[in-house]
A = this chain, B = another copy of it.
Amino acid sequence: MANLIQPKVLKGFRDFLPETEISRKDIQQTLEETFKSFGMVPIDTPVLEYTDVLLGKGSGETDKQIYRFNDHGKRDVAMRFDLTVPFARFMAAHINELYLPFKRYHISKVWRGENTQRGRYREFTQCDFDIVGVDTPEADFEILSIMHASLKALGVPDIHIHISHRGIFNAFLDHLGISDDLAEILRIVDKLAKIGEDKVLEMLTELADGDKASRILEYISAEGSFDDILGKLENLSGGPTPGSERIRIVRQMMIDCGIEELFVLNPSITRGLDYYTGIVYETFLDALPAIGSVCSGGRYNNLASIYSKTEMPGVGSSIGLDRLMAALDELGTSSSKKSLTDVLIMNMDRSLKGHYFSLATKLREAGLNAEVFLDNKKFKNQFSFAERKAIPFAVICGEDEFKENRVTLKDLNARQNFEMLTIEEAIEKIKEISG
């Protein structure tokens, strides 16, 4: 035999074994059901794209991380590093086949060759949902509602969605007369949670005079009730702005729908990059603040401006599936199923194997997941197989049962036998026990 090849995977990449994959698929399905219940439609785009199409909006950091190469036709191509850029390209390409407002979701893998650390992978899954074509408080509110409904449907306990508005912040910097330094100020403010107020103040003082630096700190650390904070921000910005009015309208919709308790006005949320123009938000778990935001996004001015002259204002959000799963694991609220099989039909007498398969068909027709053990190993081995797959029931049919057209049902959890049942009685008993 030739030398064996070591079956290793690349650093930052992962295999998903059934237990994890069942749970990932459950989560994805729950998210899809929620997205669909809000009228969102799915799309898909290629994993590989022309590099210049993908990097049009990329930052320098993204350029370095992208998986890029020349294909067989010497085309410069790259694997997508997020789902936003392909969506922008998609909207520009298909605007004449679509309608506005267009509400799409996209759950798929993306790739970034970044340094791997705890909870960071080079291949990871994003769940994006966006509304394109309207700049209204209704759309802003709907994305927030979907975030809330999604995390509720997943059973994520005790979340708070921290919202803010880039328009108010911009008006505030204008009022201070230092809006030219926006990008640099955003970069510093974004570090607040990491480096603390003193350090932020120190860095801001290098940029603006001490009084203005203090005012920025006052803005981003404003405290009180939602309405109190909003009032303070308006005062610091020299009065109400379109941004603060928008937030007030969105807030009223939260109250009308009785979900206002979940939302915190947090002016330190800026989402770093200068991409966003309106409302921005991040989502934190009360029990695990250190894990960071599990669902973030905001409003942007013009999604597809590098590809199309058609204006497409949008608002959207993205759930990081890997981080969310890590959080659910840590909180012990993740489901964990080894398989989805309800019944194992024991392969007891091999001359009856055709009968075993027809029993399995009957179980499936009754909505149960059933499998026949595919070898004639010892009972011990077959039970051990059932245990490895966490199968709750076994059906046994030996010569005696077969002659009477009966089976024996074993409840493997309760270690209880039900003898000489018809297959219909066995199905009824399984459903009764499973509740």
A residues within 8 Å of B by Cβ?
Answer: 1-2, 4-11, 13-18, 21-22, 24-25, 32, 36-39, 41-50, 52-53, 56, 64-65, 67, 69-73, 75, 77, 79, 89-90, 92-94, 97-99, 101, 103-104, 109, 111, 113, 123, 131, 134, 136-139, 141-142, 145, 149, 252-253, 255-258, 304-309, 338-341, 344, 347, 353-355, 357-358, 360-361, 364, 368-372, 374-376, 384-385, 388-389, 391
Contacts and interface: CB of A to CB of B under 8 A. Distances in A.
Nearest to A66: B72
Given A39-B341, A371-B103, A90 B15 contact: yes
A229 to B, nearest CB: 21
Contacts of A141: 357
A93 B8 contact: yes
A17 B101 contact: no
Contacts of A24: 44
Contacts of A375: 101, 134, 136, 138-139
A353 B90 contact: no
A253 B354 contact: yes
Contact of A56 (B5, B18, B104, B374): B5
Nearest to A122: B48
A333 to B, nearest CB: 21
Contact of A22 (B42, B113, B372): B42
Nearest to A364: B37
A89 B97 CA distance: 42
**Which of A5, A14, A90 has most B Cβ within 10 Å?**
A5
Contacts of A355: 256
Contacts of A72: 64-65, 113
Copies of this chain, complex-wide, total 2
A371 B338 CA distance: 37
A48 B67 contact: yes
A385 B99 contact: yes
Given A99-B388, A371-B39, A9 B357 contact: no
Nearest to A121: B46
A11 to B, nearest CB: 8
Nearest to A70: B69
A370 B93 contact: no
A37 B65 CA distance: 41
A134 B371 CA distance: 15
Contacts of A9: 45-46, 49, 89, 93
Given A48-B13, A308-B4, A374 B42 contact: no
B4 A21 contact: no
A308 B415 CA distance: 37
A95 B21 CA distance: 17
B17 A43 contact: yes
A92 B7 contact: yes
Given A10-B50, A53-B8, A308-B4, A16 B44 contact: yes
A426 B205 CA distance: 60
A47 B39 CA distance: 31
10 contacts: A5-B53, A7-B307, A11-B73, A15-B43, A39-B369, A41-B339, A41-B340, A64-B72, A67-B71, A99-B388
